[in-house]
């Protein structure tokens, strides 16, 4: 695993609030090949594991949950 780079506290807090409020996000992140992926996602959990912070999210009601490291996030915004 690459060295984890913590994200800014305010960004972490925004993700936690989005989980608590069940707010949909426009999320852009880098996949394992370092290619940008853009999705509309419902954040389910923000947690720490193996010395890194992670986001678990779903892209639809029937979609399996996905997990990414927070430092893979390029940008995100709450969908109004």
The per-residue pLDDT for 52 is 95
CATH level 3 topology of 9-78 = SH3 type barrels. (2.30.30)
Domain ranges of the chain: 9-78
* Distance between CA atoms of residues 42 and 35, nearest Å: 21
Q: What is the mean pLDDT of each run of 10 residues along the chain (80 residues)?
A: 87 97 97 96 96 96 93 95
The per-residue pLDDT for 42 is 97
The per-residue pLDDT for 80 is 77
pTM for this structure?
0.92
* Distance between CA atoms of residues 29 and 56, nearest Å: 13
The per-residue pLDDT for 45 is 98
């Amino acid at each position: 695993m690459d060295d984890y780079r913590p994200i800014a506290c305010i960004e972490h807090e925004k993700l936690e609030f989005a989980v608590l409020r069940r707010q949909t996000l426009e999320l852009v992140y880098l996949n394992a090949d370092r290619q940008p992926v853009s999705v509309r996602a419902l954040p389910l959990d923000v947690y720490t594991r193996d010395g890194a912070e992670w986001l678990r999210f779903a892209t639809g009601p029937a979609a399996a949950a996905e997990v990414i490291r927070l430092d893979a996030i390029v940008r995100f915004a709450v969908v109004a």
